[in-house]
């Protein structure tokens, strides 16, 4: 599917297990005061936004994933693929007054270069918990995590090399 968009205020969104059957080149789901639940989804570019309600699900994205909510939890599993070694695959998770918890697998078909990944996770008045179960060797990870008045926990992959 080339482009799929909804901007339906006060409507819940529930997406079934689509990751094995459909690839979205671009998908954008927007609502207010209602949750977004995604069983599984595969896309090149994806945008999910709500307010006062949770975002939960499993996402496989190769270029860009943006998730934003307020006053509710964000609980996700993300497979972030870097298929173009000249560009960064990006993940943005933004919240306020709600926790962020995510398991993020970094992947690249080019094992010699490892892939380029840029991740931003920010909230305030709530904790952040990020785990990276796996990442390719020699990957380039730009990670920014920010919260106020709560703790931030980040578990980097075993293949991580560098400093912080």
Q: What is the mean pLDDT of residues 5-18?
A: 96
Grade residue 111 by pLDDT with cuts at 50, 70 and 90. low
**Long-range CB pairs of 153-159, under 8 A, 24+ apart, other chains included:** 153/127, 153/128, 153/129, 154/128, 154/130, 155/130, 155/131, 156/132, 157/106, 157/132, 157/133, 158/134, 159/114, 159/134, 159/135
**Residue 162 reports pLDDT greater than 90:** no
Length of the chain: 164
Grade residue 113 by pLDDT with cuts at 50, 70 and 90. confident
* 149-164 core/surface letters (b: 16 or more CB in 10 A; e: else): eeebeeeebeebeeee
Grade residue 110 by pLDDT with cuts at 50, 70 and 90. confident
Q: Could you tell me which of 147, 67, 159, 47 has the C-alpha nearest to residue 114?
A: 159
Grade residue 161 by pLDDT with cuts at 50, 70 and 90. confident
Q: Could you tell me which of 54, 63, 103, 55 has the C-alpha nearest to residue 85?
A: 63
Q: Which residues on neighbouring strands pair with residue 143, listed in sequence order?
A: 119
pTM equals: 0.96
Q: What is the mean pLDDT of residues 113-118?
A: 92
Q: Angle at the Cα of 66 (from 60 to 68), degrees rounded to 5?
A: 125
Q: What is the mean pLDDT of residues 99-119?
A: 91
Residue 46 to residue 5: CA distance in whole angstroms:
10
Domain ranges of the chain: 3-155
Instruction: Give the list of residues 6+ apart from residue 161 with CB closer than 8 angstroms, or none.
Output: none
């Amino acid at each position: 599917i080339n482009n799929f968009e909804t901007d339906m205020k006060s409507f819940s969104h529930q997406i079934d297990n689509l990751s094995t059957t459909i690839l979205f080149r671009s998908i954008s789901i927007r609502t207010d005061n209602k949750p977004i639940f995604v069983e599984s989804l595969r896309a090149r570019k994806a945008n999910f936004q709500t307010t006062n309600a949770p975002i939960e699900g499993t996402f496989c994205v190769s270029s860009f994933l943006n998730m934003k909510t307020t006053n509710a939890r964000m609980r996700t599993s993300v497979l972030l693929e870097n298929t173009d070694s000249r560009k960064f695959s990006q993940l943005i998770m933004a919240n306020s007054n709600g926790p962020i918890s995510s398991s993020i697998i970094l992947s690249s078909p080019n094992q010699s270069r490892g892939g380029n990944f840029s991740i931003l996770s920010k909230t305030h008045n709530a904790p952040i918990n990020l785990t990276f179960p796996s990442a390719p060797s020699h990957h380039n990870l730009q990670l920014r995590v920010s919260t106020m008045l709560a703790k931030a926990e980040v578990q980097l992959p075993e293949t991580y090399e560098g400093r912080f």
